[in-house]
Every structure is written in C-alpha cells, then in structure tokens.
Amino acid sequence: MSVKQISVFLENRPGALCEMTKVLADEAIDMRAFSLAETSEFGIARILVKDVYKAVTVLKDADYITSVSEAVAVAIPDVPGGLHSVIKAVADAGINLEYMYCFLGGKSGKAFLVCKVADVAAAESALSAKGAVLVEQDELAEL
C-alpha cells in the first residue's frame, strides 16, 4: 500500500530548485506532494508523483541525483487532534517517524500525511488497526 517517494539532491544555491521544477514542468509531470529540506551545502527535495518512472527518468536525464524509497501516505481526519491520532497510532506501535510532511489533495479537499519509517508494513498495519485510511501509489492522481 505504500507510495514511492522520489528524493532529488540539489545544490544549495539560488535557482537550483527552480531549475529542477522546470524539468518536471516541461515534461508535464504533476507533483502531488513536495517537501524540501536543506543543509548548508545541499538540499533534498522529496516529491510524490503518479508516474515515478517518468519523473525519475527525466530528472536523471537532466543530471539530477535521485533515489526512490517507500513511504506511508495516510489521510488525516479533519477534526481537532486528527494529525495527533495518526501520529499516535505509529508511536503506540513503537515505530519511529524518521521524517514527515503533509499535503492537501486538490480534488479531494482532504489533508494527507506522508511519513518515512524503517518498517513500512508495520506502520501501515498499526495505522489500519486504528481505522486510518491509507493511500496507495495509483491513488495519487485522484487526490
């Protein structure tokens, strides 16, 4: 049930992010979620797209260093404490959240959490047991 997350390594300099997003835009690749983290020397853009193969191919053809990893995507209940309930399900199972980011599903109007964990299956099992709605790779285009 996991989603494939693309990590793109970028120089930490003005215009680097703009250049990378242009590569994707020129190929009509629609990003469904996006996160950017930085250090003093480089940044890591993490993106979710429907067609992972196409996105990775065009990025590599443009000389970007990429990696693909599994992540868990889950709907966040639209109630006070909704995010907490999702995070608590993972914490109660003894699973560490390595990092996370949220996005809004444009068509659905719902909020979603993407999280990186060491054991995707265990996290998905813990979330499912608490009634969480998990998102699969092929559902990204529908969000």
Give the CATH number of the domain where residue 62 resides. Answer: 3.30.2130.10
Rounded Cα–Cα distance for residues 17 and 36 (Å): 9
Please report the pLDDT score of residue 139 as a whole number. Answer: 85
Its pTM stands at 0.88
> What sign does the dihedral 6-9-13-19 (CA atoms) show?
negative
Q: What phi and psi, each to the nearest 5 degrees, are found at residue 109? A: 75, 5
The parent domain of residue 18 ranges over 3-69
Which residue did the predictor score with more confidence, 138 or 125? 125
Domain boundary among 15, 46, 69: 69
Residues counted in the chain:
143
The reported pLDDT for the residue numbered 44 is: 95
- Give alpha helix (H) positions in the chain: 16-26, 52-61, 82-92, 120-129
Please tell me whether residues 60 and 86 are part of one structural domain.
no
CA distance 43 to 74: 25
Give tens-digit pLDDT for 8-46: 999 999 999 999 999 999 999 999 999 999 887 889 999
Q: What is the pLDDT of residues 37-83, one digit of tens each?
A: 988 788 999 999 999 999 999 999 999 999 999 999 999 988 889 89
Specify whether 25 is located in the same domain as 86.
no
Q: Phi and psi (nearest 5°) for 82?
A: -60, -45
**Claim to verify: residue 76 and residue 37 sit in the same structural domain:** no
Judge if 32 and 58 occupy the same domain. yes
Angle at 28 between CA 27 and CA 32, to 5 degrees: 125
Domain count along the chain: 2
CA–CA distance, 138 with 24 (Å, rounded to integer): 19
Residues 79 and 114 placed together within one structural domain of the fold: yes
Residue 52 and residue 89 in one domain? no
Domain end (from 69, 97, 125): 69
Residue 97 has what pLDDT? 94
Could you tell me if 80 and 138 lie in one domain? yes
Q: Are residues 19 and 57 in the same domain?
A: yes
